[in-house]
Structure 1
Amino acid sequence: MLISSHSSPNGGIQLSGGGGGRFWWEVVPVAPPSRTALVCTALAGIAVFAALFYTTSRGRLKSPWSRRKRKHALTPRQWKSLFTPDGKLRDGGVKFLKKVRSGGIDPSIRDEVWPFLLGVYDLNSTSEERAIIRTQKRKEYEKLRRQCRQLLKRSNDCSKGTSETSCIEDSGSVAQDSDSSSYEDVVSARESLSSEERSPDVEDSDDPSSALLEGDDGSGQTTNTDASALNTESSDSDSSEDPEVIQASSSSEGREENDPDVPLKDYISPSRTDLHPNQCTGENFATWQRIIRVDAVRANAEWIPYSPTQATVSECRARRAADAVGLKDYDFLEPCGIFHAARLVAILEAYAVYDPEIGYCQGMSDLLSPIIAAITEDHEAFWCFVGFMRKARHNFRLDEMGIRRQLSIVSKIIKCKDSHLYRHLEKLQAEDCFFVYRMVVVLFRRELTFEQTICLWEVMWADQAAIRAGIGKSAWSRMRQRAPPTEDLLLYAIAASVLQKRKLIIEKYSSMDEILRECNSMSGQLDVWKLLDDAHNLVVNLHDKIETPF
């Protein structure tokens, strides 16, 4: 076919074509566009561009993660630049929290940054104030460890044949005996924890949420003891290099990490109902201690690449640490595993004494493990764990009210966002969202990799720190942020993970057991930054509808 074109006398273009079919056509001549038409066309184009830009901009406001997976994490250089000469965070920590919310934290500075996120240090504290707090909190932790050693010694004495009456009397009075002054200090510290949110003054010496840790200050005074400390009730442990760890547990049955077939009821053992909730007796402690040890030696080894120093610990030091807390039956572990288990035991035991209402419950070791991987000093890791448990402790209450409340919120988020999916869940009698029980209890620890878990927790902690500091509460700040800080970011993330599977759930699943298996098989399949993106979009759209009082 042959095509030709030539200008028309009246200004248009005339096309003609021919081929084997001998056909011709021509375009009707068109007059040149007028100036008015050109102006109108240009204005229309500008309007379309503006509309697209506005829509895109609104989309970007929805979440700090829109249109990308992750910004760069907070680097050591950026971290140092955030402080004034006297060691205060600039602008009350607003820029710091914004950075963490958008990209997390470089692993090399987590041990310095986490105490700020977890309320150990106030965001407005100076370096001098933090040094004082660090010293004070180290001493408080050492007192807790002495109590643990007393309880352990009494338990060992009882097991060797001491009369039952004597054991009961001793265990009931352990908190009131020769170290009663330390017990009063611990009680005072626990009471101050509840008032931290009302008065985050770092000078409050009884406030455990504004305590300890920064850099290496005081690192030469660790709280570890060697084996001889077990028989020395009144000795301090300032100069020992071996860490002590504590665990308290509610059930005598262990559980395997990341096992999708573990029954949900195993995550909070009913045996805890037999314990006295408000006092740490020798009997309670012995029960917690037994299960702590089972959980500690079964701890997942994912932490090893993230803690090179602890991963290369010598066998001699690891065994000393285990002896210091009475840990046995660990011969199948590598030295780093023994050391990690010993630290878990020491800190979880101390927490059981510190918070006897909760004591220990299976799942708490999962929450502590990432903390001790990042923080090498036991007393610093302990107070970070206390800050973490300020909210997470409700997951381990005997009445399970904390769990029920959170499941209810997840259900409400799904109902508000996707009525079709919610109706399907109703048909399956699964609208209570019990299938995400495990996600709630251990805060996604089983569904995400070690690094993903930490990334999620850091963003969640940044939200909670912003709320404690009063950042993001005003209407103006909400208009700017669109996704305001929330205490329940975890629950929005859990709902987002379910919504990502909506099509599969609606089209293929006909029972709650099938949905449960799907949720438990998410391990390693989730993109944590996409999950956070979706979670923040849910916060944007639903935070005014989802009431989350505790």
Structure 2
Amino acid sequence: MFTELLFCKSKVFVHCSSKADDNIAGFLLITRDAQQTALDATLTWIPEKELDKAQINELMRADMQLSSETRSNGKSRVKKEVILQALYIAWAFSIKVSSIYSIQFRPPSPSGWWFGSVAINSKNLREQDSIPILFFHDKVCPSTQEKQKQLSKSFDPFNGADIYWGANDFRDSLLEIVDLKQTLVDPTVWLVNATMDDLRNFSASNPKHESQGLNEPAAQGNKFWDVVDQAKWNVMSKFADLTSKSTNKMANMFNQHPLVKFVDKHNTNPYVKQILANPKVQEIQDDFDSAKIYLAKWALGVKEQAEKYQTTNGLDDTYRRLLFNELGSDGEDVNLTDEEVNVAMQRSHPLTKQKWDSFFDSKGRLVITVQEVKDFIFHGGVSDADLRKDIWLFLLEVYPWDSSLEERQILEKTLRDSYRANYKCKWEYRETHSDEDEEAYWHDQVLRIEKDVKRNDRDLPLYKYNTEDGNASPNCQQAEPLADDTLDNDSWTVKNPHLQKLRSILLSYNIYNNDLGYVQGMCDLLSPIYYILKDEELSFWAFVSLMNRMERNFLRDQSGIRDQMLTLTDLCQLMLPKMSDHLAKCDSSNLFFCFRMLIVWFKREFEFGDVCSIWEVFLTDFYSSQFQLFFMLAILQKNSLPVMQNLDQFDQVLKYFNELKGSMDWSDLMIRSELLFVKFKKIMDILERRSELNEYTLLTADGNVITETSAITADNSSQTNPSLATDNLKQLLSKKVVIQREPPREKHSVR
């Protein structure tokens, strides 16, 4: 019986002692049986001396084939008995990839003083004892030697790439089957399918490392943060400063030159002017000026790259201090900790396909908690659109989190059949209604849907061209994007197949939820779902799920959106009291300017890709099922200073927030949203405790009970006044989705 060979490297040694003669050569393999997931892949090392000549030749061929730049399409295989041998041979070992916690890659010495090595750390302490350190003897490994020859032909000394060695192939093969993350604390250590907590703990910006001096356990001195900052990122900035100083020094040297002094002293002399007008002299002057500009731009570029790297990796102290200054403290009771700020800032671990696959077992069931998955989505997002399709089907509850792959396949078939049989066919083969009012109502719904579909996201390639295949066609009248005046013209029909599917889904939803009908804005909610899924049936059910929570935004009496606006007003009064007071002076205390943003979840304020990232954070319900209110609060907080300093009228405030479209950084706002929620929860906890102490009893001398009001609430202006903890605010702490339904539609309902 054979198993698939994913990786093979020869001449990987175990050093049994300090004597070179005791070194044992072997093969390092990664194998996986058919139908197995990446988690079930096995890592094996087996000595050459335990294999027969035919097995060695077979593995040597596989080594050369798998390490080649042009791999064969055919799959390499190895007998399973070779893998089983590793369980019974001294020094040999076999371990499931899912059991590996981390791998340390220690590259070889450039001078050849030591071999490159790999140390594998297992999650199982007992298993760890049986795994030796592996040494890559590159000079005797045919595949490594061959690859080094190939790379030497295209060697570029300025590309900054690390020197190639045998373990690079091993690491690259692991990257194809598992999620492998390099730690910032020690770049030689890579985590295998790390949890979000592991990624935080091993990040250089982890407050645990910051607060721990280097003498714990190493040496006393600066905090870890300071050492990392000085040793890595300040070097670039200082180097840039040095370059600037060099530039100034060049200028000073130039100015000290006798000829320059002579020119400066006699620059009004006509003979000197004639010399300066000489083309050769001007050429020298231009060259010098160009050199100074080049060096200045180069120095600026280095600084910008250093700052960009710091910001990208959450290492920007300026940004950190800014968050602390704006959000960190409101007194002794409500402070943000270093760890809370770091957790919010560390958003650099997006979900990859390998990481997502590592969450499921061979039957397609989750092996970690749903909250752990949502932690990755909330703090890291999703790396690509293809993966986003799978994740959104879970977030939008099309697939249950506790389902297996087989159950999801059965469910998907059932949902597709149900959509076509129970909803789509009812309007496709709809007969004229005997009631004229109902017939008029249906036609009005169709017109509303078609009008919004025609105007939907026409800047996106999927919806841009009104052609039968959705692509630009030179022979078609609608090959060019439609202008606004054309969009308002009802005479043209929808040909784009994707726009047609949006129309079909919205008409089918009208059948599904006839009480609600179609309301402007619903197409805005459907568009991202279909854009990601590109599947009519699944998009319908995902839209149904989204509308379960969004229906309250479209109720006839507007009670659902009004409740959110009232909650946001309470939240602003509690968290941003100065901003709230100022808005009241501007006749904007009702926060009317937030209405459009909330009703379609900021769909029209951000770029389409950013909207998808924002929505998947909201859909996790990680902190609250109404996290969109904290995102809105973050927008208010971020803009509070310019509003309070410059605006004093309702029209000014409305215009200011309406013109924020396309100018906001969603990632910064999401960090602020999280910190605002953390701070809000602390305040609510304090309010709850003080509410419990608000009334207490005192026994009088004769034993009577007297109820008094606690002095704690004497100051009504205090942020921690228990009376501020309204029911609306308490509901924000819940992860349960708030659902409000449209009551049954009456015959003469007017929308």
- TM bucket normalised to smaller: 0.5 to 0.7
From the superposition, tell whether residues 76 and 417 of structure 1 become closer, same or farther in structure 2 (CA, over 3 Å).
Answer: same
Find the partner of 1:65 among 320, 344, 360. 344
Aligned partner of residue 730 in structure 2, secondary structure: coil
Q: How does 1:150-229 map to 2 (within 5 A)?
A: 150-151=429-430, 153-154=431-432, 167-168=434-435
Give deviations 1:344-378, integer Å, cap 9, x for gaps. 11111111111122211001111111111111210
Find the partner of 2:592 among 434, 456, 462. 434
Q: Is 1:123 matched up with 2:401?
A: yes
Give the letter for the 2:403 counterpart: S
Q: Is 1:95 matched up with 2:253?
A: no
TM-score when normalising by structure 2: 0.43
Does structure 2 conserve the Cα–Cα contact (< 8 Å) formed by 1:493 and 1:532? Answer: yes
Does structure 1 conserve the Cα–Cα contact (< 8 Å) formed by 2:451 and 2:490? Answer: no
Give the letter for the 1:290 counterpart: L
From the superposition, tell whether residues 457 and 377 of structure 1 become closer, same or farther in structure 2 (CA, over 3 Å).
Answer: same
Give the equivalent residue in structure 1 for 2:145.
Answer: none
Give the equivalent residue in structure 2 for 1:388.
Answer: 546
Q: Is 1:112 matched up with 2:390?
A: yes
Give the equivalent residue in structure 1 for 2:535.
Answer: 377
From the superposition, tell whether residues 51 and 77 of structure 1 become closer, same or farther in structure 2 (CA, over 3 Å).
Answer: closer
Q: By how many angstroms is 1:315 displaced? A: 11
Does structure 1 conserve the Cα–Cα contact (< 8 Å) formed by 2:458 and 2:464? Answer: no
Give deviations 1:123-145, integer Å, cap 9, x for gaps. 11111111121111112211201
Give the equivalent residue in structure 1 for 2:460.
Answer: 303
Give the equivalent residue in structure 2 for 1:83.
Answer: 360
Aligned equivalents of 1:349, 1:523: Cα separation in 2: 30
Give the equivalent residue in structure 2 for 1:513.
Answer: 651
Q: By how many angstroms is 1:317 displaced? A: 13
Aligned equivalents of 1:310, 1:438: Cα separation in 2: 33
Stretches of structure 1 that go unaligned for 5 or more consecutive residues are 1-41, 155-165, 172-280, 320-327, 467-484
User: Relative contact order (alpha carbons < 8 A, sep ≥ 6): 1 or 2 greater?
Assistant: 1
Give the equivalent residue in structure 1 for 2:731.
Answer: 548
Aligned equivalents of 1:306, 1:110: Cα separation in 2: 19
Find the partner of 1:284 among 418, 428, 441. 441
Find the partner of 2:635 among 491, 497, 500. 497
Give deviations 1:185-214, integer Å, cap 9, x for gaps. xxxxxxxxxxxxxxxxxxxxxxxxxxxxxx
Give the letter for the 2:571 counterpart: I
Aligned equivalents of 1:315, 1:145: Cα separation in 2: 33
Give the equivalent residue in structure 2 for 1:191.
Answer: none
Give the letter for the 1:397 counterpart: L
Aligned equivalents of 1:461, 1:318: Cα separation in 2: 40
Does structure 1 conserve the Cα–Cα contact (< 8 Å) formed by 2:344 and 2:379? Answer: yes
Find the partner of 2:499 among 330, 336, 341. 341
Does structure 2 conserve the Cα–Cα contact (< 8 Å) formed by 1:410 and 1:495? Answer: yes
Aligned equivalents of 1:436, 1:148: Cα separation in 2: 36
Q: By how many angstroms is 1:48 displaced? A: 9.3
Q: Is 1:136 matched up with 2:319?
A: no
Q: By how many angstroms is 1:511 displaced? A: 1.8
From the superposition, tell whether residues 307 and 101 of structure 1 become closer, same or farther in structure 2 (CA, over 3 Å).
Answer: farther
Give deviations 1:484-523, integer Å, cap 9, x for gaps. x211111100111111111121121122222111111111
Stretches of structure 2 that go unaligned for 5 or more consecutive residues are 1-214, 228-320, 325-335, 479-488, 685-724, 733-737, 739-751
TM-score when normalising by structure 1: 0.58
Does structure 2 conserve the Cα–Cα contact (< 8 Å) formed by 1:297 and 1:330? Answer: no
Give the equivalent residue in structure 2 for 1:452.
Answer: 610
Find the partner of 1:487 among 617, 620, 625. 625
What is the number of equivalent residue pairs in this alignment?
352
Does structure 1 conserve the Cα–Cα contact (< 8 Å) formed by 2:456 and 2:463? Answer: no
Give the letter for the 1:500 counterpart: K
Give the equivalent residue in structure 2 for 1:531.
Answer: 669
Give the equivalent residue in structure 2 for 1:356.
Answer: 514
Aligned partner of residue 90 in structure 1, secondary structure: coil
Aligned equivalents of 1:302, 1:547: Cα separation in 2: 41
Aligned equivalents of 1:364, 1:315: Cα separation in 2: 33
Does structure 1 conserve the Cα–Cα contact (< 8 Å) formed by 2:463 and 2:499? Answer: no
Aligned equivalents of 2:370, 2:469: Cα separation in 1: 31
Aligned equivalents of 1:59, 1:111: Cα separation in 2: 35
Give the equivalent residue in structure 2 for 1:145.
Answer: 424
Aligned partner of residue 361 in structure 1, secondary structure: coil
Does structure 1 conserve the Cα–Cα contact (< 8 Å) formed by 2:457 and 2:463? Answer: no
Q: By how many angstroms is 1:81 displaced? A: 1.7
Give deviations 1:16-71, integer Å, cap 9, x for gaps. xxxxxxxxxxxxxxxxxxxxxxxxxx99x979959999x999233247432x5x32
Aligned equivalents of 2:535, 2:359: Cα separation in 1: 24
Aligned equivalents of 1:512, 1:123: Cα separation in 2: 46
Give the letter for the 1:168 counterpart: D
Structure 1 runs, 4 residues or longer, greater than 6 Å off = 45-48, 50-53, 305-310, 313-319
From the superposition, tell whether residues 425 and 457 of structure 1 become closer, same or farther in structure 2 (CA, over 3 Å).
Answer: same
Aligned equivalents of 1:416, 1:346: Cα separation in 2: 44
Task: Look at both structures and tell me which one has the larger radius of gyration over its CA atoms.
Answer: 2
Does structure 2 conserve the Cα–Cα contact (< 8 Å) formed by 1:295 and 1:362? Answer: yes
Aligned partner of residue 359 in structure 1, secondary structure: coil
Give the letter for the 1:94 counterpart: Q
Q: How does 1:407-426 map to 2 (within 5 A)?
A: 407-426=565-584
Q: By how many angstroms is 1:341 displaced? A: 2.0
Aligned equivalents of 2:351, 2:442: Cα separation in 1: 40
From the superposition, tell whether residues 389 and 310 of structure 1 become closer, same or farther in structure 2 (CA, over 3 Å).
Answer: farther
Give the letter for the 1:288 counterpart: Q
Give deviations 1:296-335, integer Å, cap 9, x for gaps. 111122432799998549899999xxxxxxxx957598x6
Aligned partner of residue 167 in structure 1, secondary structure: coil
Aligned equivalents of 2:474, 2:525: Cα separation in 1: 25
Does structure 2 conserve the Cα–Cα contact (< 8 Å) formed by 1:303 and 1:373? Answer: no
Does structure 2 conserve the Cα–Cα contact (< 8 Å) formed by 1:62 and 1:536? Answer: no
Aligned equivalents of 1:332, 1:495: Cα separation in 2: 41
Give deviations 1:425-470, integer Å, cap 9, x for gaps. 111221111110000111100111101111000011112xx5xxxx
Aligned equivalents of 1:80, 1:313: Cα separation in 2: 37
Aligned partner of residue 435 in structure 2, secondary structure: helix
Identity rate, percent: 25
Q: How does 1:222-237 map to 2 (within 5 A)?
A: none
Does structure 2 conserve the Cα–Cα contact (< 8 Å) formed by 1:144 and 1:350? Answer: yes
Aligned partner of residue 342 in structure 1, secondary structure: helix
Q: By how many angstroms is 1:413 displaced? A: 2.0
Aligned partner of residue 505 in structure 1, secondary structure: helix
Q: By how many angstroms is 1:411 displaced? A: 1.4
Does structure 2 conserve the Cα–Cα contact (< 8 Å) formed by 1:63 and 1:537? Answer: no
Give the letter for the 2:446 counterpart: Q
Aligned equivalents of 1:491, 1:102: Cα separation in 2: 18
Give deviations 1:237-280, integer Å, cap 9, x for gaps. xxxxxxxxxxxxxxxxxxxxxxxxxxxxxxxxxxxxxxxxxxxx
From the superposition, tell whether residues 127 and 51 of structure 1 become closer, same or farther in structure 2 (CA, over 3 Å).
Answer: closer
Q: By how many angstroms is 1:113 displaced? A: 1.4
